[in-house]
Amino acid sequence: QKIAGQVLVGVAVSALLFTTSDFKSSLYVPFIKNLQPDLTVWGYSAFIILVLTATSNTVNLTDGLDGLAISVTVVAASALTGFVYVTGHAKFADYLDIPHTPGVGEVTIFAGALVGASLGFLWFNAPQAEVFMGDVGSLGIGGALGTIAVLIKQELVLPILGGVFVLEGLSVMIQVASFKLRGKRVFKMAPLHHHFELLGWKEPKIVFRFLIVAILFALLSLSTLKLR
């Protein structure tokens, strides 16, 4: 049911983009200057559904320790806000040779608001948490990050920008595949943050170290603007 809901949201987003705007079906590839393959409308729509489903689920999997998912969200959303601004600014987009989407600069307000709201939530979600995110929060945040990335055509930068989310999701996939195929576990427990918990790391140490890694991933994603 959860996956079905995510697919429906992806269908709605892609339908709105291709029917109410001049959204192009070409895919922007970071690091490679002249590679922008055309996926066609149907192919790009399927790709949008994949991006939104993957992003919402990986953020959901990261939400397992006080302050973890939301602190990583603050970093990822902050970097994404920068991407939105330069994408919506014709001169900056032309100088950086990235796809310029007219009007998308308005999304900077939403992305900035997401950062501010996340900081406000983190104030009360930091260990020991007084409020909790739950699926409503994590799936919504993941969907928002994925949708913003689609709007600015930075879907392939999103896995770098949200690298911690990707690692958490991969740890679950690796754990399940390994156990089903070999009958053995790779990690003590998945998602990844629980593995470190069972290694004896205290919760605040895991959160802070994952936050440091998130910052490094965000800086790496910003470097794609110039490393072409």
Given pLDDT bands bounded at 50, 70 and 90, which one contains residue 197?
Answer: very high
Taking the C-alpha atoms of residue 72 and residue 88, their distance in angstroms, rounded to an integer, is 24
**pLDDT 10s digits, 38-70:** 899 999 999 999 999 999 999 999 998 999 999
- DSSP letters along 182-218, please? HS--SSSSSSHHHHHHHTT--HHHHHHHHHHHHHHHH
Per-residue tokens: 156: 């392939």
**pLDDT 10s digits, 62-101:** 998 999 999 999 999 999 999 999 998 888 888 888 888 8
Per-residue pLDDT averaged across 196-214, rounded?
Answer: 94
Q: What's 26's DSSP letter?
A: B
Q: Which of 176, 172, 173 is nearest to 195 (CA)?
A: 172
Element (H, E) at 156: none
